[in-house]
Amino acid sequence: MRYEPIDPALFVQNRARLREMLPPRSLVVLNSNDLLPTNADGTTLLRQNSDIFYLSGIHQEETVLVLFPDAPDEKHREMLFTRETSEEIAIWEGEKHTKESARATSGVEHVHWADAFPGIFRLLMTQADHVFLNTNEHPRAADAVETRDLRFIRETQRRYPLHDYRRLAPLMAELRLIKGEGEVDLIRAACDITEAGFRRVLGFIRPGVREYEVEAEMAHEYLRRGADGFAYDPIVGSGKNACVLHYVENHDVCEDGEMVLMDAAARYANYNSDLTRTVPVNGRYTERQRAVYDAVLRTMRGCAEMLRPGVVLKDFQEEAGKMVESELLGLGLLEQKDIDDQDPDKPAYKKYFMHGTSHHMGLDVHDIGDLWAPVRPGMVFTVEPGIYIREEGLGCRLENDYLIGEDRNIDLMASIPVEADEIEELMNTG
């Protein structure tokens, strides 16, 4: 892998926390993600299932993790099954896990080749009362996506119809909400790489460059520092493109007098960062651009102070909307009459700020988490307000990542330039 080895104690601890949540005689099975096909004989790079990585640290296809804490045979209480390598596989595909390397990476003592799984699983099913299987229950998950987990669920229920099947997803969601110290260190590493990419493009952006050239500069810096790549499809939108929330074409020319919005961050060791900055193409904000920028920055900082233990995200979003509403009044984009006459279900500010302000972040950029549960220490959130004025071809969003603390939040991107004056200085130096 590109990243430095992760202390397996992280995964050992994660499995121990899961075991404490299981009722007696429970069997847990998790599958790795598929290698997705392209065309002809090609495949994409593996994007590992976040849950199996969280519990094992194994980044390889055709891997199965089995936990059965009450198994009569001690050797069956924690097992990893992975694809057997060979000289031919090594020639065509490169290095794969040996049993020894899988054991060292995961901290799972009992490692088997994948072809041993069916027989051992059959035995375990005769001993288990409850079977926990994994599915993607993220509220925004795509429907009807075929995965190894779903195929395994269908086949297992067909073969063993009388077992008590239970959902693993709620347990994993609860576990992954709170980030341990090792996880925070990996998120910090992703943030540090993202900072290097952002500082690089500040010296590169100028009138006439294309958006994809800016993307390429960031990609270069991320990859040379050991990142997996971008944490998500990067957004580099100049001028009116900054008002398109999911703009990913990144093909237009950055023109003099425009701003360019960059929502593009790095992923490291499967852990993500999420950064947005909006900078002037020519290195100097116009008076109007600066007014909008400062309004968004004030909102970001106010929201970061408000996102504290005990707050519910739904209530937090309403308060964030009120902050933006106040800024829109100051910018002359709303009048008090617009607010007085607004539909409570469609507040006036949504014309200029139409997305959420924060989301959980971790192994997934939009990490699993209950939007109705109070915020707790140890959670990691983005804070990303924006103002988008389509009639002016002007959009601005700012975003940092925050670790929620007992006494104060920790800005994991505090060292990444965000003040307009500092950005202008860096863009006009050298």
Q: 391 catalytic, yes or no?
A: no
Q: 274 catalytic, yes or no?
A: yes
Q: 246 catalytic, yes or no?
A: yes
Per-residue b or e along 157-182, where b marks 16 or more CB atoms closer than 10 Å to that residue's CB: eeeeeeeeebebbebbbbbbbebeeb
Report the SS3 class of residue 422: helix
> Do 218 and 201 meet the contact criterion of CB atoms below 8 Å apart?
yes
Cβ burial, residue 354 (10 Å; 0-12/13-18/19+):
exposed
Cβ burial, residue 115 (10 Å; 0-12/13-18/19+):
exposed
Set 388, 401, 402, 424: catalytic member = 388
> Do 215 and 236 meet the contact criterion of CB atoms below 8 Å apart?
yes
Q: 399 catalytic, yes or no?
A: yes
Separation of alpha carbons 266 and 218, rounded Å:
9
Set 62, 183, 221, 263: catalytic member = 263
Set 15, 112, 267, 359: catalytic member = 359
Set 274, 325, 327, 367: catalytic member = 274
Residues in the chain: 430
Task: For residue 368, give every residue at least 6 positions away whose Cβ sits within 8 Å of its Cβ, in sequence order, or none.
Answer: 137, 138, 169, 172, 173, 176, 177, 360
Q: Chain-centre distance of CA 57, in angstroms?
A: 16
Q: 251 catalytic, yes or no?
A: no
Set 397, 401, 402, 424: catalytic member = 397
Q: 192 catalytic, yes or no?
A: no
Residue 199 token pair? 């500082």
Set 78, 325, 399, 424: catalytic member = 399
> Do 135 and 150 meet the contact criterion of CB atoms below 8 Å apart?
yes
Set 183, 364, 384, 401: catalytic member = 384
Q: 263 catalytic, yes or no?
A: yes
Nearest to 130 by CA among 161, 171, 164: 164
Set 159, 224, 246, 376: catalytic member = 246
Q: 164 catalytic, yes or no?
A: no
Set 149, 366, 367, 424: catalytic member = 366
Set 41, 100, 287, 406: catalytic member = 41
Phi, psi for 217 (deg, rounded to 5): -60, -45
Write out the catalytic residue numbers: 41, 246, 263, 274, 355, 359, 366, 384, 388, 397, 399
